[in-house]
Chain A
Amino acid sequence: MIRVLDTIVVPALATGMARDQAMLIAGHLRVLRDQADFAVRFEVLEFCAAQRLGQDLLAILDGGEETHAAGATLAAAMRVGTSPDPKVTRKRLYAVTAAIEELVRTGGRDGTALFRKQMRTHVLRAAREESQRERNWFGGMGFESDPVKSLPQLMADFEAEYR
């Protein structure tokens, strides 16, 4: 499909939106082709990374009623693990990260000063790791000025961190 787009469809289109879109479709197909072998495992590891951040936050939880209520919601979301069905894992990942986001929002308002300070450290650490992973994962889209990791290398490093 990529070859057909590159050699037949794109050259046949005049400059303009149709040509731009066809080139973007070819680009997407390249990225999806490279990610395909790793996609399910990548999502499982993302779930593990979210669980670790959740555990870190629950371990330091301190604040008013709202903070504790948000902590309880997070703890409940974290009771389930990954599933062989990627759709279920994705749903659970959403539930855990939504609960963390809500705890960060609530804790920022209602948490103790110490909790807020430690929470900031944990969230920034996890966010930096996540953004670096995603930048490598989508490195094929060409927004990086520096070289990105190959996907096998990215996955090996991710596995080593969360195995």
Chain B
Amino acid sequence: MTRTSIIGELRDTIYDDSDLEPTVALVLERMARNLSPQPYLPKSEAEIQPALERYLAAQKVHAEVMNVARLGGGGSKEQFVFDLRRSGIGVTRHVLRIDPAQSPIETNRRREFEILRAMKGVVPVPDVQWLDAEGSVFGQPAIIMSFIQGVTKPVGKPTGNVSGLGIVFGDALRKKIADQVLDQLVAIHAMDWRSADIPSFQAPIADRYQAARWHVNWWSRVWRLDRVQPMPLMALVERWLVDNVPACEDPVVVHGDYRSGNFIFDNTTSRVTAILDWELAHLGDYHQDLAYLLLSPLGTRENGVSYATGLFEYDWFIREYSERSGRVIDPVTLHFYKILNCYMSVVIALGSCVRSARDSQSHQDTHLTWVAAVGHVLHTEMCDLIEKGPDNEPVS
């Protein structure tokens, strides 16, 4: 037996493809159970109003529910904005986020509730107020949070495709926003999660490879459940990921979807008012957020210069993150997470989005089939990344 084959056998013995973060495993079990041939009927404002009244009454909140309206935005959850009038408090505005029957990103509302609560005071986030974890009132799991004013892209300038992709900020606005977005990422990664009240989050500490392994297993399982058209490259990349899982010595809170479109800012002051879309948050390797944000298909090119997520020049971002966080950026680990993030994004775009729209399981079918097209750009990016390999020295 050759050395290579011994290492291969050893790795296969060590690599446990059933190892998943327990809460994520429950989400995937629910997802497999919920695959339904029945089309999903989006909820109407007329249905939401009495459901909110019932829910708040059960919470012993004496309030008048007013101005319920559907909110646009991402295709992953149904969202409604509404006002509450309470004596002694006055009128406050809120957002209700509900899972559709089969979301293109199946996640757990309790986790989102916990991480938003834990992040209060760390970075700007909405106040989460109520949770219907099992969907006992709303029919599907739901959370209610405060409404925060802000925009995802410059007002009055048509820019960007769906889901906040391709937003062009322009030089002046970019300078004001990029610094804040970077500082907030550093703050997220520095958050002391060990002292935080986030019981639905499990730490990947069984061994040094568990952080990466949990994610490879998560998304390869979703691919098997959701693929609409098989893609040989996905099997090749899955194997590459299994063979190259990097060690994570010190897990941090990873946002999981940190990019333009997922934060809002005040159009007058340019101050970032909230970091949103925490549903993919988990404990893991900080390289994962960096690699995601640096993916070329999520960036823009303006006057011949490439900007990661429309905000950062690549080298500037690497240097500044490292300086501000005090963390070493390992190019091999960064490369691994670029490929993992690409793989995850293709699973979502060409698997889950297409499947959810094909089976009429979402409230935003047209949005999902449109987003799916970006999966082909990411498909090319995966080829490039696998062939090219990491190319920089560590930054510290």
- B188 is an interface residue with CB less than 8 A from chain A: no
What is the 8 Å Cβ interface bit string for chain B, positions 369-380, against chain A (1 contact, 0 not)? Answer: 110011011011
Contact B376 A124 (CB under 8 A): no
Check A127 against B235 for contact (C-beta < 8 Å): no
B-side binding surface: helix, strand, loop or mixed? Answer: helix
User: Is the beta-carbon distance between B376 and A113 smaller than 8 angstroms?
Assistant: no
The closest CB in chain B to the CB of A134 belongs to B376
Nearest A residue (CB) for B370: A24
C-beta contact mask, B342-370 vs A, less than 8 Å → 1, else 0? 00000000000000000000001011011
Q: Given A138-B376, A143-B165, A144-B377, verify A127-B232 contact (CB < 8 Å).
A: yes
1/0 per position for B59-71, CB-CB distance to A under 8 A? 0000000000111
Is A62 part of the contact surface with B, judged by Cβ < 8 Å?
no
Beta-carbon contact of B165 and A104 below 8 Å: no
CB-CB under 8 A from A131, the residues of chain B are 376-377, 379-380, 383
Q: Which listed segment binds B: A15-23, A33-41, A80-88, A153-161?
A: A15-23
Q: Given A127, A128, A145, which contacts B231 in the complex, CB threshold below 8 Å? A: A127
- Interchain CB contact under 8 A, A17 and B366: no
A118 CB-CB contact with B under 8 Å: no
- Interface pair B161/A98, CB less than 8 Å apart: no
Complex Cα gap A60–B223 (Å): 27
Q: A61 at the A/B interface (Cβ < 8 Å)? A: no
Task: Please give, as numbers and ranges, the residues of chain A lying within 8 Å of B301 by CB-CB distance.
Answer: 145
**Whole-angstrom distance between the alpha carbons of A16 and B166 in the complex?**
19
Partner of B377, one of A17, A98, A109, A143: A143
Interchain CA distance A21-B364 in the complex, whole Å: 8
Q: Which residue of A lies closest to B306 (CB)?
A: A145
Complex Cα distance, B8 from A109, in Å, reads 8
Enumerate B67-100 residues with CB–CB distance to A below 8 Å: 69-73
Q: Closest Cβ of chain B: how far from A127's Cβ, in Å?
A: 4
With both chains docked as a complex, state the minimum distance between the C-beta of B328 and any C-beta of chain A, in angstroms: 30
Q: Is A97 in contact with B230, judged by CB distance below 8 angstroms?
A: yes
- Complex Cα distance, B233 from A131, in Å, reads 10
Q: Which residues of A contact B386 (CB under 8 A)?
A: 124
Contacts of A120 in B (CB 8 A): 236
A17 touches B232 (CB 8 A): no
Residue of A24, A109, A124 touching B162 (CB-CB under 8 A): A24
B387 within 8 A of A: yes
Q: Is B233 touching A123 in the complex (CB atoms < 8 A)?
A: yes
- The answer to whether B236 and A104 have CB atoms under 8 Å apart is yes
Is the Cβ of B377 less than 8 Å from the Cβ of A135? yes
Residues of chain A within 8 A of B387, CB atoms compared: 124
Q: Does A25 sit within 8 A of B, measured CB to CB?
A: yes
Q: Is the CB of A101 within 8 A of B230?
A: yes
Q: Which residue of B lies closest to A102 (CB)?
A: B235
How far, in Å, is A32 (CB) from chain B's closest CB?
A: 11
Cβ-defined contact, A104 with B239, below 8 A: yes
Q: A126 and B232: CB pair below 8 A?
A: yes
List of B residues within 8 angstroms of A78 by Cβ: none
Beta-carbon contact of A135 and B380 below 8 Å: yes
Q: Can you name the residue of chain A whose Cβ is closest to the Cβ of B296?
A: A145
- With A17-B71, A24-B162, A142-B161 as contacts: A97 and B373 at CB distance below 8 Å: no
Partner of B376, one of A119, A135, A142: A135
Contact across chains for B71 and A24 when beta carbons are under 8 A apart: no
A44 at the binding interface (Cβ < 8 Å): no
Can you list 29 contacts pairing A with B, beta carbon distance less than 8 Å? A17-B71, A17-B72, A17-B364, A20-B72, A28-B366, A28-B370, A53-B232, A97-B232, A101-B232, A101-B235, A102-B235, A105-B239, A108-B236, A119-B236, A123-B233, A124-B383, A127-B233, A127-B236, A127-B379, A128-B380, A134-B376, A134-B379, A135-B377, A138-B376, A141-B161, A141-B373, A142-B161, A143-B161, A143-B166
Beyond A131-B376, A131-B380, 12 additional pairs, beta carbon < 8 A: A16-B72, A20-B72, A21-B366, A24-B367, A27-B370, A97-B230, A101-B230, A104-B232, A120-B236, A127-B232, A130-B379, A138-B373
8 shortest A-B CB distances, which residue pairs? A108-B239, A17-B72, A127-B233, A131-B379, A104-B235, A134-B376, A105-B235, A141-B373
Binding site for A on B (CB under 8 A): 4, 12, 69-73, 161-162, 165-166, 229-236, 238-239, 297, 300-301, 364, 366-367, 369-370, 373-374, 376-377, 379-380, 382-383, 386-387
